[in-house]
Amino acid sequence: QVQLVESGGGVVQPGRSLTLSCAASGFTFSNFPIHWVRQAPGKGLEWVALISYDGTNKYYADSVKGRFTISRDNSRKTLYLQMNSLRVEDTAVYFCARGAVAGLYFDYWGQGTLVTVSS
Amino acid sequence: DIQMTQSPSSLSASVGDRVTITCRASQDISDYLAWYQQKPGRVPKLLIFAASTLQSGVPSRFSGSGSGTDFTLTISSLQPEDVASYYCQNYNRAPMTFGQGTKVEIK
């Protein structure tokens, strides 16, 4: 079955960096676009970033553009999110989500990893 | 960016009631609309894509309709396990945007 497992979350001070990982299994990772979506505590869902199946195309929400970098290693079936210059408002659970073949929606989600930005 | 506005923000209904949630896009998105269910403390789950196509395994009491700017998610007979927040999502193009969510409770 499709599995996405995030890791790398934790508590970090404002202005510092953190890298999240998402390990995939149960499907041909290199065939699918993958997204990061976040959810601040008690709030709604916010799309963060998208990477195409082969890593050549990347898209970002304005709120993270220039600070976050999405990447993937298809040989390791792993997605990454490098987060720099973190802000308090980046505090959220970060989900990786598989992009559907038919469109830019999300058909499978990981369990999420919590990032807390606090001094 | 396309703004997605859901209503109501919360509702309380009885078991067996018909429940309707609406989602309005700030511009025409054709049928590039998905709905997700997020139960308390759980991961979001895809219910519907292409405005009206039920994801495999989703109970048939859920249905979606609409195109252009106005969309609806309907639960034909509310069940206790349907207590959750529901989100619409535009996927016409990046950035993909979500509605603010509708919290559904049992009366």
pLDDT higher than 90, residue A101: no
pLDDT classification of A107: cutoffs 50, 70, 90: very high
Query: What pLDDT was estimated at residue A14?
Result: 98
CB proximity A110 to B under 8 Å? yes
Min Cα–Cα distance to chain B from A58, Å? 10
Q: Residue A103: pLDDT above 90?
A: no
Residue B79 banded pLDDT, cuts 50, 70, 90: very high
Which residue carries 């709120």 as its tokens? A63
Q: What is the mean pLDDT of residues A63-80?
A: 98
CB-based contact, A105 to chain B, within 8 Å: yes
Q: Which of B43, B49, B50 sits opposite A95 (nearest CB)?
A: B43
Query: A74 φ, ψ to 5°?
Result: -65, -25
Q: A100 vs B49: CB contact, 8 Å cut-off? A: yes
pLDDT at B43: 98
A87-118 per-residue burial string, b: 16 or more CB within 10 A, e: under 16: eeebbbbbbbbbbbeebbbbbbbbebbebebe
Q: What is the mean pLDDT of residues A17-26?
A: 98
| Nearest chain A CA: its distance from B99 CA (Å) | 8
> Which candidate from B32, B38, B98 shows the least CB-CB separation from A46?
B98
